[in-house]
Amino acid sequence: MAEIDVEAVERIDEGDVPTGIEAPEYVLYGGKGGVGKTTCAAATGLASARDGTRTLVVSTDPAHSLSDTFECDIPAEATKIREEIPLYAAEIDPDAALENQAGMLGTDSPLGGMLGNEEDGPMASLLGGAMPGADEAAAMQKLIEFLDDDRFDRVVVDTAPTGHTLRLLELPEIMDTMVGRIVSLRQRFQGMMDGMKGMFGGEADPKEGMDDLDAMKAQIERLRTTLRDPSKTDFRVVMIPEEMSVFESKRLLTQLDDFDIPVGTVVVNRVMENLADVTDAVDSSQFVTPNLDSCEFCQQRWDVQQGALREAQEVFRGHDIKRVPLFADEVRGEEMLRVVAACLE
């Protein structure tokens, strides 16, 4: 069996990472778990901030690998993580956000009790089943806050794995329906509620809590409009060159299209090829590359990847396709993130 001599990359030249990126205000990386979304988001955020663009990288993935990628602790609130450039980061904990949100999604608000997953709760009767995505609702609320934050010129989002992402994207439609039905019920039972005034030592205000619902509906509509505007948002699908990943990405692309979410870029990660074939911005001689001449394992894996790449080329025709090589080194820390940023340029 052929042996591959691997040497760690000690230093990447400062000029090897792109200064700035060409992208709209909001960049979302999505795809199946474990394909490298966090790496791409971190690299994009780093490159974006290098030209002075105030950039926030935020993760809605419960795995919280953004801290590992940047090699520093990242809190739930947007925090500057580099002194020399305007790079900020946050890791949203959906459970904590749901527990601590004291506003529209908080447990103390009129809407708080409605957003649980109880099968016999108020939303179950209104929507014909358990209200899905309470944790995603909290994450969405935090995301809305970040999108509206004047501190940032660009927000780069590392989304949760595909299934969770779709629940998050589906939630605005569910919430919209929910608010509409509550408004309808309020109108139908207006007379009954008027008759209840003073029954319990006070007056029952039929409009109590509806301001929260109206505000939520407005926020949901704003988020939905933003996600659907290609001049503001680029949802980038990340995949690896394997048949199942291509299948999963194709399904994600179809579902995003159903929601009118624009997908401008497809990133194929961990391709067994020479870095020089992807970008000339980095000195590829520093990197070990697969030996496709004498390594039988490398050759077989390359054959598998070639088939997946051909299929992906057909599936994602018309999109901007970026390739990131398979590195011998683990991609973490700024040195490697600069290399990935060069590949995504």
As assigned by CATH, the class of the 17-193+204-344 domain is alpha beta
203 pLDDT above the threshold of 60:
no
pLDDT of residue 112: 44
Contact predicate 342/282, CB 8 Å:
yes
Tokens 């207006």 -> residue: 190
Segment 126-175, tens digit of pLDDT? 444 444 455 566 667 777 888 778 999 999 999 876 766 666 666 666 66
182 pLDDT above the threshold of 80:
no
**DSSP 8-state assignment for residue 326:** P
Give the contacts of 263 (CB within 8 A, at least 6 positions apart).
234, 235, 236, 237, 253, 256, 257, 319
Contact predicate 55/154, CB 8 Å:
yes
Segment 69-102, tens digit of pLDDT? 999 999 988 999 999 999 999 998 766 666 665 4
Mean pLDDT taken over the chain: 77
pLDDT of residue 70: 93
Q: Residue ranges of the domains in the chain? A: 17-193+204-344
pTM score of the predicted model: 0.79
